[in-house]
Amino acid sequence: MVKRVSEKFFLAVAPKRYDLEEVAKGGINLIINNRPDGESHDQMPSAEIEAKARSLGMDYVHIPVVPAQISDEQITEMAEAIKQAGDSYILATCRTGMRAMIMYALAQAQIGVKSEDLMALGKATGFDLIEYRDRMTRLNEAHAAAEKAGAAAVG
């Protein structure tokens, strides 16, 4: 199952085996895998997904996360992956889609997208992000402070 989150960002529930040929035909240029290897006995290993994705001309990033243990570094890595993709289509995936949505929301909050907007986006796509509202707000505040400091340094 694939859900469109934004114009260029999609979420997928990770099946036991990916049909990467179909993903590539659908125009996806980057796969972001947020699922740790070994989470279940029947999941496709990250290295296998990456090899197949690259053989089909897609980029691949593995940012394995456990929702209660998401680090600032992982959020930054997600934001960078999205930024590096530019106008490309991105498919983020995990077991249920929730982790990928959380990571997308936190990465967007880090670059200044308002937490209220991200909460609404989560709700519209069937994900409740209430547990992450405070963290998104802190990321928004840190972004605003960095922008202000940058403007003061230039001015």
Report the chain (155 residues): mean pLDDT per 10 consecutive residues. Answer: 89 75 91 93 91 95 94 97 95 93 97 96 95 96 90 79
Check residue 15 and give its pLDDT. Answer: 62
CB-facing half-sphere around the CA of 79: CA atoms within 13 A = 17
Check residue 17 and give its pLDDT. Answer: 66
Q: Which amino acid is at 15?
A: P
**Considering its fold, how many domains does the chain have in total?**
1
Check residue 47 and give its pLDDT. Answer: 96
The DSSP call for residue 68 is: G
Joined tokens for residue 54: 């690259």
Question: Which run of H or of E encompasses 3?
Answer: strand 2-4
Q: Please give the residue range of the domain that contains residue 122.
A: 2-154
Of 104, 129, 108, 97, the closest CA to residue 2 belongs to 97
- Sign of the alpha-carbon dihedral angle for 40, 91, 105, 140: positive
Give the whole-angstrom CA distance, residue 57 versus residue 34: 20
CATH code for the domain in which residue 96 is found: 3.90.190.10
Give the whole-angstrom CA distance, residue 74 versus residue 72: 5
